[in-house]
Structure formats: C-alpha cells, structure tokens
Amino acid sequence: MTQIRQKPPRDDLDLLSVPHFARATRKHELAAQRDRHITEDEHGRGLVSDLRVSKPYPRVVQIPYGSSAHLCPVRAVRRWHEVSRPGPDDPMFRHVHTNGTTVLDEGLSPEGIGDVLTRPGKRASLTKRLTGHSPRRGLVTEAARAGNDERQGRWVPASQVMRGYGEDDDGFNENALHGVL
C-alpha cells in the first residue's frame, strides 16, 4: 500500500479514461499495464506505451500531449504517477481505498476498469451507457471527425478505419489524437 499526500480526484474518470481513450486500449490491456511499460518519448513529444498483453498481438502506442490540460493523457498519467508512486512492476492502475488516501497494491481488473467508466455516466444520467469499450470506440469516432488516420487501436488493415494507414510514420507525426484532445 502507498500512503498518498494528495488525494486523487473524487472522480477518478480523468485519470483512467483519458489514457484509455488515447491508447484505444481494451480493458484487459489497460489492466495488464505495468509502470515500466510506459516511458517518456526520447524527443519529449509525449509517452510511449508498450502494450505487452493485447488481443491481436503486443503493440507500442505513442501518446502525444493534449492541447488542454484536463484532456491531456500525458498529464493524466503523470498525475496518477505522482499520486500512486508505483514501482516498475506494479500495475499502472490500482485501487484507491475508500478513505481516499491510500493506493492499494492490487491492480484494477478489466471489470473494475469498466466500472470506473460506467459510474460517471450513470451519475450524469447519460442516455447511452458508458462501458470499458467506450474510449476505444470514441477514439475512432473523434479521430475520423478530426480527419486523422486511426493508428492506436490496431484494427485490421483492411478495415474502413485503417484505410489511410501510414507505415513509415513514427506514431507522433500522424497521430489519431491531433486535434482531438
């Protein structure tokens, strides 16, 4: 357990959903993420997320800075890091005790990640139910609206979403999040 000096926000949605959206991850991919799998880009452009556990195959996702602080996945990951102080082998996303001052050692399960995303939607009385798949689907929608190719989700190359896939891009220049966050 880690005692925390600063309480995480009452609504933990931003600390989980923004990085979840930015990587177009599946719930199990986020639950399996260890601290050592998220590193700083060597050129200061954001974060690099190594998804070792993935449905199709392991993949690396580049996460650029968002244009506003409250929607920035890099800032969200850094803020959670400051609050939770994980070790390199610790799950990146862990439970917070109900007292709000202790980050527990246990990582969130895929179901727990889905619950974190569903609760705020219920509180806001949204007509559509948010689920663990919502950030993944949402990135495809918003990237298309912004006119970006979608790379983070690693959909089948022949899919409509991937029709403009650019093999030679390093993941930062042609990133699905440009103009989205």
**CATH assignment at residue 87:** 1.10.443.10
Tens digit of pLDDT per residue, the chain (181 long)? 555 545 554 444 456 777 878 887 888 888 899 999 999 999 999 999 998 887 767 888 899 998 888 788 899 889 888 888 889 999 988 888 887 778 888 899 999 888 888 887 788 888 888 877 777 777 777 776 777 765 555 555 555 544 433 334 567 766 778 777 7
Residue 140 lies in a domain: yes
Q: Which candidate, 175, 153, 138, places its Cα nearest to that of 23?
A: 153
Q: Is residue 157 assigned to a domain? A: no
Biggest CA pair distance of the chain: 49
Count of residues in the chain: 181
Q: Residue 147: what pLDDT?
A: 75
What is the DSSP-derived secondary structure letter of residue 55? Answer: S
In a domain, 177, yes or no: no
Let me know if residue 105 belongs to a domain: yes
- Tell me whether residue 155 is in a domain: no
**Domain count along the chain:** 1
Structural domain includes residue 179 = no
Which residue range forms the structural domain that includes residue 74? 2-145
Q: What is the pLDDT of residue 90?
A: 93
Tokens 């609206």 found at: 145
Q: How far apart are CA 50 and CA 41, in angstroms?
A: 12
169 occurs within a structural domain: no
Dist. CA 81–CA 77, nearest whole Å: 6
Question: Phi and psi for 102 in degrees, rounded to 5?
Answer: -135, 125
Inside any domain, residue 10: yes
pLDDT at residue number 166: 32
Q: How confident is the model at residue 162, as a pLDDT?
A: 42
